[in-house]
């Protein structure tokens, strides 16, 4: 890994501090992605048959929008930020200066294999860092095209790609970095955190969890069903933000289930296996894991599986046992458990069994219920009356809380996460009140005013 030392030396040349250098790098990356758009879609399709439109909105266009945001705002975000002074340091000018951290390591998962390696990389470059990117080994075709794009655009002393699995990842983690940006499972997140701690390296951990989706009796049921089906079927449920399970008010449960079935048929036809608009499960291991979650469950709809294609159709499960494997970890697939509730404590009894999730959703037309939902439950981010779509606003920080993640990114938040905020006070010299200097002989009647200095 000779690029590691090369990047170290390159960072010290201070070239990445230059804003034109960063802007040019981002523009070259943008041009290359536009040029390779078809190849990217083909690679992701080859990996797990992600529909082209989903690749367009959630992979390439998502990353291009992130690049454009950086190019547009770079100059402004990198300016020293003027902060008001206080009496203790009067007279002075106070600033926050954002400076690059240094060498950044980005490790990505397989489910959005282009977006999740590129979006953090874009933020790290915009903030003036060098980057080593490690895509997931489970989506090898996408990893190859990511490598090609990066090699076409950057010198390895600035940005390098390393392909490989767990061993390569661990070798990278054994080195000292200035920031590690990891997206993946909470289990591996823990390993990354431990490795980073050895060098006191700051981390961003973008993890997952069991995302609840609550539907109360006032929700607009048809629209609710359509938006839940969309959020759950995107990437065939292999989305960190997908609703993991539903909690439905008992009075509207039957109606919602009927509408969910209708919306699945509207979108994917009577035979989901024939739909061109559903991805496949990424590999046999995950397929077998998901298939085994269906065992012993009461299937309300779906349940189709195609072994040779790693395909499982969108499946609705009625009131699974909370101790069953389906309700232990993140589902991360097209299976949707449905529970009914009568009151708030029924909801609490399920939601609070789990660590704080990455996302939570409420469908309700009641203002008070919406307010209560936001205040009552801990989660990374959420949507009222829709699913997943909060990720589309780059002005909102994207990240988890507790076991679903540490830190956040996207847009300005990305620029900040890859920058050190250096606090600077520039003192004036024309006056120097004696108050703080020894010998401390202030009369008591004056000393009591000292507290107002801060």
Rank residues 170 and 251 by Cβ distance to ligand NAD and give the closer one.
Answer: 170
By CB under 6 A, is residue 185 in contact with ligand NAD? Answer: yes
Cβ-contact 146, 106 below 8 angstroms:
no
* Whole-number Å distance between alpha carbons of 273 and 280: 10
From the candidates 59, 66, 240, 330, which is the catalytic residue? 240
Which of 109, 243, 302, 411 is the binder for ligand NAD (CB under 6 A)? 109
The values of phi and psi at residue 104, to 5°, are -110, 140
Q: Is residue 170 a contact residue for ligand NAD (CB under 6 A)? A: yes
Q: State the minimum distance, in angstroms, from the CB of residue 446 to ligand NAD.
A: 54
Rule CB under 6 A: is residue 66 a binding residue for ligand NAD?
Answer: no
Q: How far is the CB of 67 from ligand NAD (least distance, A)?
A: 18
Stretch that binds ligand NAD, among 29-37, 68-76, 104-112, 226-234 (CB under 6 A): 104-112
Judged by beta carbon, residue 43 or residue 108, the one nearer ligand NAD is 108
Among 54, 59, 206, 416, binds ligand NAD (CB under 6 A): 206
Q: Is 248:300 a contact under the CB 8 Å cutoff?
A: no
Nearer to ligand NAD, 51 or 381 (CB): 381
CA 247 to chain centre: 24
- The torsion defined by the Cα of 128, 132, 134 and 140, in degrees rounded to 10, comes to 100
| 419-427: strand order across its sheet | 81-83, 92-100, 419-427
Q: Can 240 be counted among the known catalytic residues? A: yes
What DSSP letter does each residue of 317-376 carry, written as one string?
EES--TTSGGGTS---SSEEEEEEESSHHHHHHHHTTSPPPSEEEEE-S-HHHHHHHHHH
Question: Which residues contact residue 231 at a Cβ distance below 8 angstroms, ignoring those fewer than 6 apart?
Answer: 213, 239, 241, 242, 243, 361, 386, 387, 388
**Residue 330 is a binding residue for ligand NAD (CB under 6 A):** yes
Candidate segments 24-32, 131-139, 222-230, 270-278, binder of ligand NAD by CB under 6 A: 131-139
108 near ligand NAD, rule: CB under 6 A: yes
Smallest distance from ligand NAD to CB 156, Å: 19
Concatenate the DSSP letters of all residues of 274-326 into one string: G-SS----SSHHHHHHHHHHTTT-EEEE---EEGGGTEE--EEEES--TTSGG
Burial degree of 34 (CB within 10 A; 0-12, 13-18, 19+): exposed
344-373 residues in contact with ligand NAD (CB under 6 A) are 358
**Closer residue to ligand NAD, CB minimum distance, 102 or 237:** 237
Judging by DSSP bridges, how do beta strands 298-301 and 315-318 pair with one another?
antiparallel
Question: Rounded to the nearest whole angstrom, what is the least distance from the CB of residue 332 to ligand NAD in the complex?
Answer: 6
User: Which among 80-88, 162-170, 298-306, 361-369 is the span making contact with ligand NAD, rule CB under 6 A?
Assistant: 162-170
Catalytic residue among 157, 206, 213, 330: 206
- Range 152-188 burial, b when 16+ CB lie within 10 A, else e: ebbebbbbbbbeeeeeebeebbebebbbbbbbbbbeb
Closest to ligand NAD by CB, 11 vs 114, is: 114
SS3 445: helix
Q: Closest by alpha carbon to 47, among 128, 144, 172?
A: 144
User: Is 208 a residue that touches ligand NAD (CB under 6 A)?
Assistant: yes
Q: Which is nearer to ligand NAD, 100 or 334 (CB)?
A: 334
Task: Determine if 107 is a binding residue for ligand NAD (CB under 6 A).
Answer: yes
Q: Is 332 in the site for ligand NAD (CB under 6 A)?
A: yes
For tokens 């990893």, what's the residue? 143
What is the smallest separation between the CB atom of 9 and ligand NAD, expressed in angstroms?
A: 26
User: Closest residue (Cβ) to ligand NAD?
Assistant: 208
Residue 191 within binding range of ligand NAD, rule CB under 6 A: yes
Q: Is 134 in the site for ligand NAD (CB under 6 A)?
A: yes
Q: Three-state SS for 382?
A: strand
* Binding segment (CB under 6 A) for ligand NAD, from list 23-31, 101-109, 297-305, 422-430: 101-109
The binder of ligand NAD chosen from 120, 123, 184, 212 (CB under 6 A):
184
Minimum CB–partner distance for residue 358 and ligand NAD (Å)? 5
How many Å apart are CA 410 and CA 414, to the nearest integer?
5
Residues near 425 by beta carbon (within 8 Å), at least 6 away in sequence: 85, 89, 92, 93, 94, 95
The dihedral of CA 410, 411, 413, 416: what is its sign?
Answer: positive
**Closer to ligand NAD at the Cβ: 237 or 405?**
405
Choose between 209 and 320: whose C-beta lies nearer to ligand NAD. 209
Active site positions, annotated: 206, 240
The binding site for ligand NAD (CB under 6 A) comprises: 107-111, 116, 134, 136-137, 165-166, 169-170, 173, 183-185, 188, 191, 206-208, 240, 330, 332, 358, 400, 405
């Amino acid at each position: 890994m000779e690029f590691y030392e090369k990047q170290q030396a390159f960072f010290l040349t201070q070239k990445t501090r230059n804003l034109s250098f960063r802007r040019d790098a981002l523009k070259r990356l943008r041009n290359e992605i536009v040029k390779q758009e078809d190849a990217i879609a083909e690679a992701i399709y080859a990996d797990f048959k992600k529909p082209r439109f989903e690749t367009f909105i959630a992979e390439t266009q998502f990353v291009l929008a992130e690049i454009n945001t950086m190019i547009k705002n770079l100059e402004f975000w990198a300016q020293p930020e003027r902060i008001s002074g206080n009496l203790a340091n009067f007279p002075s000018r106070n600033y926050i200066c954002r400076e690059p951290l240094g060498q950044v390591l980005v490790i990505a998962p397989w489910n959005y294999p282009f977006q999740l390696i590129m979006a953090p990389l874009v933020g790290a470059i915009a903030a003036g860092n060098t980057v080593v990117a490690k895509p997931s080994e489970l989506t090898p075709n996408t990893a190859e095209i990511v490598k090609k794009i990066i090699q076409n655009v950057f010198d390895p002393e600035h940005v390098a790609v390393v392909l490989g699995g767990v061993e390569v990842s661990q070798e990278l983690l054994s080195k000292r970095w200035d920031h590690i940006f990891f997206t993946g499972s909470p289990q591996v997140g823990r390993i990354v955190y431990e490795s980073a701690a050895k060098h006191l390296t700051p981390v961003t951990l973008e993890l997952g969890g069991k995302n609840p989706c609550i539907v109360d009796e006032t929700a607009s049921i048809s629209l609710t069903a359509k938006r839940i089906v969309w959020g759950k079927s995107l990437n065939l449920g292999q989305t960190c933000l997908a609703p993991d399970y539903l909690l439905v008010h008992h009075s509207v449960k039957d109606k919602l289930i009927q509408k969910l079935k209708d919306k699945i048929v509207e979108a994917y036809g009577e035979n989901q296996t024939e739909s061109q608009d559903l991805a496949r499960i990424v590999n046999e291991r995950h397929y077998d894991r998901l298939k085994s979650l269906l065992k012993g469950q009461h299937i309300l709809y779906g349940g189709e599986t195609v072994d040779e294609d790693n395909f499982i159709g969108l499946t609705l499960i009625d009131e699974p046992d909370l101790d069953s494997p389906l309700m232990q970890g993140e589902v991360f697939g097209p299976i949707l458990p449905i529970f009914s509730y009568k009151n708030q404590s029924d909801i609490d009894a399920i939601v609070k069994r789990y660590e704080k999730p990455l996302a939570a959703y409420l469908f309700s037309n009641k203002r008070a219920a919406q307010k209560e939902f936001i205040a009552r439950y801990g989660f990374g981010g959420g949507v009222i009356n829709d699913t997943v779509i909060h990720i589309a606003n780059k002005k909102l920080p994207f990240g988890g809380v507790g076991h679903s993640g540490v830190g956040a990114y996207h847009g300005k938040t990305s620029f900040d996460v890859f920058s050190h905020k250096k606090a600077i006070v520039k003192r004036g010299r024309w006056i120097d009140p004696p108050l703080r200097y020894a010998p401390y002989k202030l009369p008591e009647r004056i000393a009591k005013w000292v507290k107002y200095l801060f």
